Homo-oligomer: A and B are copies of this chain.
Amino acid sequence: MDKIKIGVIGTGRIGQMHVENLANMRDNFEVTAIADPYAPNLAELAQKYQIPHYTNDYEKVLADPQIQAVVIASATNTHATIIEAAAKQNKSIFCEKPLAEDVPQIKQLLQVVKDNGTCLQVGFNRRFDHNFKQIHDYVKAGQIGTPQIIKISSRDPEPPSIDYVKVSGGLFNDMMIHDFDMARYLSDSEVVEVNAQGAVLVNPEIGEVGDIDTAIVTLKFANGALGVIDNSRQAVYGYDQRAEVFGSKGQAVSTNDRLNNVELDQNENVQLSEIPFFFIERYQQAYRDEFQAFYEAVTKKQAPVVDGLDGLKAVEIARACDQSLKTHQAVKL
């Protein structure tokens, strides 16, 4: 199996990006179908990337015996149904996070995936970031010894619209979920307790619809390490994505990315380069590299780097934070 024949279900912004990345990976993938119930530009998209089939009905993609794998980038509330259907068709599955909105539903779909022996990779793209992967690799290689303190800062350049906030599931499920996965990835351990602090400091309207825009969560890990994540919906200086792991033999620390390495020195002014605007720009290469990993997992029949359990764990931690914030108490997992 040289190339994987793959279909992409859901061709919104992220789905289109996936189509382009897969189309450019000519040695590994052949995009043979795209599906979206609404997208008006399906035909155009198919033509641009020379994709033979396009349809409004994803079931046609799943029914195509030539298609070996699918990317699910449709609305979150459709993930569970499509994953289960794809698993039953023995397709390898790449699904955008979150797998589903509630924990029992995820557990059920994971059982279906397991029963069908299907490969399922979840779209936690940040694991493939050049900085975070390097920290993880140092930890894995024992370069920092036993992890003791894990710190993650994750701040968006601007808050989403209030309409989005209303349906987002809240900051922990919508935003910090990436950091929960990152905490597990960097620490190489499971989160066993959370303690959440939240505040509305960016936009009062976010508070009015029952959400927070600023949060600090402390974590305890199974291996004894402590952790802390901070989130803000608005860093006016730009998208801020940093992490550090401190351990018995040292620490690995990343600074935020900038677009270039030029420093401008003027009288009373120093200017460093701009920051990549948001996740699409910052994680551009990571979005490509997660498919390389998916290719390896599928062709070598290995466990994917981010599997269904990872998808489940992040949601469980988010739910525990919701509870901690409400009860003002630590919540064990």
Contacts and interface: CB of A to CB of B under 8 A. Distances in A.
A197 B220 contact: yes
A76 interface: no
B246 A266 contact: no
Contact of A226 (B24, B230, B267): B230
B218 A262 contact: no
B263 A252 contact: yes
Interface string A258-278: 011111111101111100000
A214 interface: yes
Interface residues of A, number: 72
Pick the most buried of A155, A234, A251, A267: most chain B CB atoms within 10 A of its CB: A251
A68 B4 CA distance: 35
Nearest to A251: B265
B270 A271 contact: yes
Contacts of A201: 146, 148, 224-225, 248
Nearest to A193: B197
A201 B220 CA distance: 13
A166 interface: no
Contact of A328 (B134, B145, B261, B330): B330
A232 to B, nearest CB: 6
Interface of A: 24, 26-27, 48-50, 130-131, 133-135, 138, 143-146, 148-149, 151, 153, 155, 195, 197, 199, 201-202, 214-216, 218, 220, 224-228, 230, 232, 234-238, 240, 246, 248-257, 259-267, 269-273, 328-330
Given A24-B24, A269-B269, 6 more contacts: A135-B262, A149-B214, A197-B226, A201-B225, A201-B248, A240-B251
24 contacts: A131-B260, A131-B261, A131-B262, A133-B260, A134-B273, A143-B266, A148-B202, A148-B214, A151-B151, A151-B230, A197-B226, A201-B224, A202-B248, A235-B246, A237-B251, A249-B266, A251-B265, A252-B262, A252-B263, A252-B264, A256-B261, A263-B272, A270-B271, A329-B330
